[in-house]
Amino acid sequence: MGQTLILIYDSPKKYVREEKLAAQFAGLLESLRFDQEIHDLVVDALKSSFDVERREHADAVRRVRGEIDRLKQRLDAVYIDKLDGRIDEAYYHRVSAQWRDEMARCQNDMERYQDASDIYMDEGVALLNLAQNAHHLFEKERGNSRKKLLNFVLSNCK
């Protein structure tokens, strides 16, 4: 954001009144606001990005499902070859173990894709709305609610 909040303590016994800190934080939170036109543009860009993300997600799920199906077909075929005596037991166990490992990796990928859902869009809009309303919420709240808001907003500060 470009603004910096610097708190300097001259000695361990010097205290800063909460009201002074609150005023500084309120000023910083006020700077998070942007006009409605910019907000709407960012939301539209987020929605557009989400549409691209959704298509890429669907393509990835299709690829992983195709890979799982291909591996299942291989396992079925190699099992039939083993039953028919075209391959020996050791070869069957070696390749089937390898393909099962690949299937497990694909299943893990599939679970990750299934966990990634519409949360991307919802969280993005919620974060924008929080930025728009952070100053108002900070001014309105007291005590623990204020602390939670600041902890969230400042969670990645250095």
DSSP code per residue over 118-134: THHHHHHHHHHHHHHHH
Q: What is the pLDDT of residue 1?
A: 44
What tokens does 5 get?
A: 């909040």
Q: What is the pLDDT of residue 115?
A: 65
Residues 6+ apart with CB under 8 A from 130: 137, 152, 153
**Angle of the 119-140 helix axis to the 18-30 helix axis, nearest 10:** 140
Question: How confident is the chain (158 residues) per 10-residue block, as mean pLDDT?
Answer: 51 73 82 82 83 84 94 95 94 96 93 70 78 80 80 73
What is the pTM for the complete model shown? 0.50
What tokens does 4 get?
A: 């910096």
Q: What is the pLDDT of residue 4?
A: 54
